[in-house]
Amino acid sequence: MAVWVIIAFWVVVGLGVLVFAMASTRRRSEERRSRVADRATTLGFTVFFLGLGVLVPTAIMFGNSDAEEKAPGGIELTAEQTNGRQLFNERCSTCHTLAASNAVGMVGPDLDKLRPPAELTVNAIEDGRARGQGQMPAGLLSGQDAEAVASYVAAVAGQ
């Protein structure tokens, strides 16, 4: 939404500058220019500003949309794993090391070296370690969120 507000702002500013410039030159050259030429110039500048201000950023946004669905190394992530990556970055990356998330935590184990299966990861997330009394507390996530993180870690650890 914020991108569209910025785009709209600059389109309005550009069109305002265009209208102001054309209005000031119109007074001086009324005799020399026809209305057809003025309309053609206005249309040309409008198309130009819309092309730069709306179409180019839109094309770039849609062109980059696939980047969010892949992990490093070109591993394609499912929607669940993409959600798991976001949750991992929010809740786990400060303690664990995982290259796919650029996480370099030093408290928990290095998941790239450990390469835990999804079941072990779900258990660790829900039950903690050392019966929840250790450095990893119990209940960090539960249900589908825990499974999403476990699926993401299983897919990218060690890659």
| Domains detected in the chain | 2-63 (no CATH), 69-156 (1.10.760.10)
> What is the pLDDT at residue 79?
87
Whole-angstrom Cα Rg for the chain: 27
74 CB-near residues (< 8 Å, 6+ apart)? none
**Lookup: tokens for 53:** 């201000």
With a pLDDT cut of 90, the percent of the chain lying above it is 20
Residue linked to tokens 């990861």: 121
- Specify whether the CB–CB gap between 80 and 146 falls below 8 A: no
> What is the pLDDT at residue 72?
62
Give the residues across from 103 on adjacent strands: 98
> What is the pLDDT at residue 64?
64
pTM: 0.55
Quick count: other Cβ atoms within 10 Å of Cβ 58? Answer: 13
In three-state secondary structure terms, 152 is: helix
How many whole angstroms separate alpha carbon 14 and alpha carbon 146?
Answer: 49
DSSP class of residue 98 equals E
**Lookup: tokens for 96:** 């664990």
Residue 85: closest CA among 152, 157, 159, 158: 152
pLDDT per residue over 20-56, tens digit each? 777 766 555 555 557 777 777 788 888 887 777 777 7
Mean pLDDT value of segment 129-149:
81
> What is the pLDDT at residue 26?
56
Query: Does an H or E element contain 104, and which?
Result: strand 103-104
DSSP class of residue 54 equals I
